[in-house]
Structure 1
Amino acid sequence: MSSIRTLTRRAALVVAAVGAGFVLAACGGGSGDDNGSGHGAHASASASTAGAHNAQDVSFAQGMIPHHRQALEMARLADGRASSAAVKDLAARIEKAQDPEIKTMSGWLKAWGEDVPAAGGGMDGMEHSGSGHAGMPGMMGEADMTELENSSGKAFDTKFLALMVEHHQGAVEMAGVEKDKGRYGPAKTMADDIVTAQNAEIGEMNKLLGKGSGASGQSGSKG
């Protein structure tokens, strides 16, 4: 009789232990941020990975904002100076695409607690001087910007296209680095969009310049 009681007691202890194990597993699955196997932990880890960023993401946004701003500055010069409807249309499309991207990247930097490059000064001025050219491919110097501003008609069209090809190639290069080394999903997606859109526009501009490929030079036949 005593042996039956002992077996019953043991069975009860096993059931209690198994039950406690389930309770612990349920608690662990809901709160783990590391390598928990529960669905809650997995979803939490996925969300944190999707929202995580690294130093390259910060560098991409802080560099691309002034780069885009200069493209907008160039594009806005087309109104009243360009003679070609194709150049005016291209300039309008550049402005429409890049202005919202500046706002988006500024939002990322604020959310990350990072500095947003000041408009019209600071980083922009530094890049124009040439000291930051290695880190900012395709940026125009003050002389080029002044010459573009003082041009009009077909001379403006040709200068604008030649400079914008170079500018776009720089943006594509910067975006390629972000695609390779960035971590933040939306930034990598934007970088991919920049590569696709600006490579297409480079092809369009080279056609307007009468070239099959290449970036620099002002000897294009048409504006």
Structure 2
Amino acid sequence: MNALSIRFLRRPVTAVASAALAAGVLFGGGLAAAPSALADEPAAEQETARFEVDFMKNMIDHHALAVAMAQPYVEKAAHEKLADLCRTIADSQSAQIEQMQGWLQDWYGVGHEPRLSPADKQSVRRLEDLSGERYEVRFMRSMIRHHSGAGTDSKRCLDRAEHPALLDLCDTIRRSNSKQIDTMQGWLQQWYGRQSGYSGY
């Protein structure tokens, strides 16, 4: 599969999301405050609600790039361990994209489809043109940098988000990305005697 043709499931607008739209949750003066962040309600504070919406939109796009980078490697594998990690990244982050799309709709009446910027598409094309050692080294270094950015954003989410489900997801992203970074750094050194240039987040 060409990484740039990747598709994600489009979620239907739920009854809760429709009600949120009718109430003007995200129009005119911005996000309407709600008494508390219950299962299907916006965050209580307007600033927090804005953060949650922006965070989920950005993380959906961020995950889309990781999936676009990881999926083609399953077919280009030189090391099966790295191919397995790519499957894990593609599967878990695709599922998290759908999860965040659902929360955007359920809590805020907002729809968002994954987007790759022109720079993102160019990065994926550069990877697709490589093979063997050059591909693996470039891929792991690129994914380490990518995971580092998501880890930093997830730490910010833990400080500012309100919905427990989103907080749990941010903690999962932070922990899993940190573990995968450590794994890829080890492989870079073990297989190719290379460093990633990453110093932690």
* Same fold, judged at TM 0.5 (above): yes
Aligned residue identity for 2:175: T
Corresponding residue of 1:164: 143
Question: Which aligned pairs between 1:16-165 and structure 2 lie closer than 5 A?
Answer: 48-51=36-39, 52-53=42-43, 54-119=49-114, 121=115, 124-125=116-117, 128-129=118-119, 141-165=120-144
* Alpha-carbon distance in 2 for matches of 1:173, 1:203: 15
- Structure showing greater Rg: 1
Q: State the one-letter code of the partner of 1:215.
A: Y
Q: Distance in 1 between matches of 2:94 and 2:169?
A: 13
Aligned counterpart, 1:180: 159
Aligned length: 154
Deviation at 1:212, TM superposition (A): 7.2
- Equivalents in 1 of 2:160, 2:125: separation in Å? 35
TM-score, normalization by structure 2: 0.69
RMSD: 2.2
SS in structure 2 at match of 1:214: coil
Deviations 1:26-69 (A, max 9, x none): xxxxxxxxxxxxxxxxxxxxx94444422111111111101111
Q: Is the 8 A contact 2:154 2:173 kept in 1?
A: yes
| d(CA) in 1 for partners of 2:56, 2:122 | 26
Higher relative contact order (CA 8 A, sep 6+): 2
TM-score by length of 1: 0.63
Query: What corresponds to 1:204 in structure 2?
Result: 183
Deviations 1:137-159 (A, max 9, x none): xxxx4443221011112221111
Partner residue, 1:214: 197
2:52/2:161 contact within 8 Å kept: yes
Deviations 1:6-38 (Å, cap 9, x if unpaired)?
Answer: xxxxxxxxxxxxxxxxxxxxxxxxxxxxxxxxx
